[in-house]
Amino acid sequence: MNYSEIMVRYGELSTKGKNKRKFTMQLAQNVKRALADFPAIKIHGDRDRMHILLNGEQSELIFPKLEKVFGIQSFSPSIRVEKEMPAIREMVKEVIRAAYLPGQTFKITSKRSDHHFELDSNELNRELGGAVFEVFPDIKVQMKKPDINIRVEIRQEAAYLSYETIRGAGGLPVGTAGRGMLMLSGGIDSPVAGYLAMKRGVEIEAVHFASPPYTSEQALQKAKDLAGKLVPYVGSIQFVEVPFTEIQEEIKRVVPQGYWMTVTRRLMLRLTDAIREQREGLVIINGESLGQVASQTLQSMAAINEVTTTPIIRPVVTMDKTEIIELAEKIDTFELAIQPFEDCCTIFAPPQPKTKPRLEKAQEYEARLDVSSLMERALAGLKVSEITGESATDRNSDEFLDLL
Ligand code: ATP
Ligand code: MG
């Protein structure tokens, strides 16, 4: 089909009262960014809908990008036709030929915003239903939940036909909730946590702890590649690499084995919080899932969480591993996440971490470290890079041009 525009239905944002304008503006900006490769398109947003005028750009290339923009309930591509009955009838026939499978039901839903048009909406429904019967005489009409609903809209400038409704990503436009620091390891859980936080409007930056030479260049690259998989939802991601070697060596030297993990996590959280403050974030996001490993018991979480009062979102905390994996597959992070590169926590994992660490003990052992100067040095060594795409091979521009 040769579509001329895509009509976008807002998700939850339409219920946000006074903030609605802010939400729709953010959504329009996010759509523009997601479709930056299509320079000819024009976006018009109003209170209830957004219209993306394609101006010759190919809708099939645009759909997959639009499906990753949070804040969209659904969208329908539509065909523009001259506002004359013969032309509209012909297009209805073309649509039904393209859409119909044997045994399916249909209806026509017409709407006029041009009240001077020769037929009213009831007459349009009847007339255009007739056109469908000319093509498929045995097709059945069904008013409630038909298989095919051909929507016809008579506007001032032209008539518009649509019949497909494509489900959007739901959620709220990324950016409307503020900024959050995603603690991104190379595992399965944290990318999913990042995805879910973005779904509720959080714009994320990634914080990754690396302990070279104990952790490899590949492990770092893997974390960056995982961040790359989240880019289509947000446009680009600032990736903050934290040098963590000195701290881990120091912990290993002065803290009893049973508390390595707890103290390590406390330092990670302290550093993430300091980075959040520098970068004007409001929240921290991690991939903790209750009971999954020693550091993720409630006692552990309490002993670790004590270092900050900043809200921490744990989107996967109540999910089973299989549920998390399902989402990881959906956002295409699973295959990458199971590549076996050692993470800083695995390398220093004590044989028997405490599953019920005591807060006073954790504080006591942590006090053996010179926390502030260790943190200062780590913060002085931050490396920030911008992740903008999956990888160089993802967007081969020549190949891309061929498609157009
Ligand atoms: P994941 O699959 O996300 O690695 P996990 O089940 O392996 O999670 P842990 O390794 O215990 O769990 O880590 C719990 C959370 O701590 C992670 O989800 C992540 O948010 C954070 N985290 C762990 N390691 C790192 C790291 N190297 N850099 C940044 N964050 C980390
Ligand atoms: Mg991990």
CATH number at residue 234: 3.40.50.620
% residues pLDDT > 70 (the chain): 94
Q: Nearest CA to 268 among 226, 224, 312?
A: 312
pLDDT tens across 106-145, in order? Answer: 999 999 989 999 999 999 999 999 999 999 999 999 999 9
Is 210 within a domain?
A: yes
CB 82 within 8 A of CB 158: yes
Q: Are residues 97 and 22 in the same domain?
A: no
Question: Is residue 374 in a domain?
Answer: yes
Whether 254 and 183 map to the same domain: the answer is yes
C-beta neighbour count of 324 within 10 angstroms: 23
Range(s) of the domain holding residue 113: 85-157
Q: What is the pLDDT of residue 353?
A: 83
pLDDT at 340: 86
Tell me the CATH number at 142: 3.30.2130.30
Give the number of residues written for the chain.
404
In a shared domain, residues 134 and 258: no
Encode pLDDT of 22-71 as tens digits.
899 999 999 999 999 999 999 998 888 899 999 999 999 999 999 999 99
Q: How many angstroms does the Cα of residue 324 sit away from the middle of ligand 1? A: 14
**CB proximity list for 340: less than 8 A, separation 6 or greater:** none
CA pair distance 380, 385, nearest whole angstrom: 15
The four Cα atoms 74, 79, 80, 83 give a dihedral, to 10 degrees, of: -110
Q: Give every residue of the chain whose pLDDT is below 70, as ranges.
A: 13-16, 345-347, 390-404
pTM here is 0.89
Single residue among 142, 174, 206 that ends a domain in this structure: 174
Nearest ligand to residue 208 Cα? 1
Asked if 75 contacts 151 with a C-beta cutoff of 8 angstroms, the reply is no
**Does residue 124 sit in the same domain as residue 233?**
no
pLDDT of residue 15: 62
Determine how many CB atoms are found less than 10 A away from the CB of residue 1.
17
Rounded distance between C-alpha atoms, residue 212 and residue 215, angstroms: 5
By CB atoms closer than 10 A (0-12, 13-18, 19+), residue 90 is: middle
**242 CA closest ligand 1 atom index:** 28
335 falls within a domain: yes
Same domain as 73, residue 198: no
Clarify whether residues 104 and 69 are in a common domain. Answer: no
Q: Which ligand 1 atom lies nearest to the CA of residue 244?
A: 27
pLDDT, tens digit, 9 for 90 and up, residues 364-389: 999 999 999 999 999 999 999 999 97
> Is the same domain home to 71 and 199?
no
For residues 89 and 78, state if they share a domain. Answer: no
Using the mean position of ligand 2's atoms as its centre, give its distance from the Cα of residue 186 in Å.
6
The confidence score (pLDDT) of residue 14 equals 55
Distance CA 94, CA 88 (A): 10
The string of DSSP codes covering 129-173 is HHHHHHH-TTPEE-SSS-SEEEEEEE-SS-EEEE---EEEEESB-
Q: Does one domain contain both 46 and 90?
A: no
Is residue 162, in this structure, part of any structural domain at all?
A: no
Distance (Å) from CA 71 to ligand 2 centroid: 30
Q: Is residue 215 part of a domain?
A: yes
Q: Which two tokens stand for residue 159?
A: 């008539």
123 shares a domain with 24: no
Pocket of ligand 1 (CB under 6 A): 183-185, 187-190, 207-209, 286-288, 292-293, 295, 343-345
List all residues 6 or more positions away from 33 whose beta carbon is below 8 Å from its beta carbon: 235
Last residue of a domain, one of 140, 174, 208: 174
Contact 152, 160 (CB under 8 A): yes
Residues 257 and 320 in one domain: yes
Residues within the annotated binding site?
Answer: 183-184, 208-209, 265, 287, 296
Under 8 Å between Cβ of 368 and 247: no
Does 188 reside within a domain?
yes
**Residue whose CA lies nearest to ligand 1 atom number 7:** 187
Using the 3D structure, point to which of 157, 192, 209 is the last residue of a domain: 157
**What domain count does the chain have?**
3
Domain shared by 24 and 131, yes or no: no
- Domain presence at residue 124: yes
C-alpha separations of 74 from 62, 68, 107, 167, 170 in Å: 14, 11, 20, 4, 8
Residue 67 lies inside a defined structural domain of this protein: yes
